Amino acid sequence: MRNITFAQALVEAQREEMERDESVFIMGEDVGYSGGTFGATLGLWEKFGSERVRDTPISEAAIMGAGVGAALAGMHPVIDMQYLEFLPYMDALVNLAAKLHLMSGGQICIPVVLRGPLGAKGGNGAQHSQYFESWFVNTPGLYVAMPSTPYDAKGLLKSAIRGKNPVVFIEDKTIYFTQGEVPEEEYTVPFGQADIKRIGKDVTIVATGITIGRALKAARILSKEGIEAEVVDPCTLIPLDIETILQSVRKTHHVVVAHQAPKTGGFGAEVVAQIQELAFDELDAPVIRVAGLDVPAPYNVELEKKANVYEDDIINGVRLVLEKAQ
């Protein structure tokens, strides 16, 4: 094992898959010479050249449309959208990439990977600080990954590139320079397999993306109070490994679901609904959601923090669910 950053893990995954399969190529804004806005394609242009690491015009609709066309032609495009908040690509993603397998009667596949960042990063404002992973989850035909560690990022991205399905690969803007252990040897992480990041017996915390790190900090603080929290990372939102979550619920009987997206309509609502449908009798208290505020992200950094979820918010959610059980 060695420690590398989340961004370096993405670079390694793409490099290894490009070496393995000549049909894999990268396209997007500033992916070439500059190595990507967050360094997620750094060095790949120098290694593979401009034919396989293609800088594109600033036209998200054209980038996504070209990616779908390349996938139809037998290529395996990896699209770096720079910012997933740039929404002109949504028509090609939702109405082409997600639909054509079904509309062709299963005759064609669309192996396109759309990767890029979402979320707040210190005062970037309302249009560049959004979390709308639930939009993608609500589109049948798309696979959705949201890794929280460099290990998961590399393994899931390799699986995404090797697959036959359109994948939205979500990277939190604040996560690129976090470090974690990644093995030297070849590995992949399968879709649809949640990971228990911390074992506990008193409460289950289900979290996604950057919130996993904050949930783990919260769990360490709670442990000093005698509360042992189990932290579950779904890793992929579609397909969702609900059974691993339910196994934890059956053990702890208390659940907090945490994410950065606004509470109303957020992905946590789906997790809560499935827990209540499938394991209601295991609950000693209602499931508590800890989520971002239903407001556009403020420019002011301190106000932005209040709109997002940190370890103190998760700790308060855990205390609330345990109080309700008494």
Measured in Å, how far apart are the chain's first and last C-alpha atoms? 44
**Residue 98 near residue 166, CB atoms below 8 Å:** yes
Under DSSP, the state recorded for 40 is T
Tell me the two tokens of residue 90.
Answer: 């949504």
State the angle between helix axes of 211-223 and 311-324 in degrees (0 to 180), rounded to the nearest 10: 60
Burial class (CB in 10 A: 0-12, 13-18, 19+), 214: buried
**Active-site annotation holder among 76, 101, 128, 254:** 128
What 3-state DSSP class applies to 314? helix
| Annotated catalytic residue 259 | no
Find the angle CA(309)-CA(170)-CA(172) to the nearest 5 degrees: 40
The Cα–Cα gap between 145 and 207 comes to 13
Tell me the two tokens of residue 99.
Answer: 């639909």
Backbone angles phi, psi at 40, to 5 degrees: -85, -5
Within 13 Å of residue 112, how many CA atoms lie on the same side as its CB?
30
**Looking at the annotation, which residues are catalytic?**
128
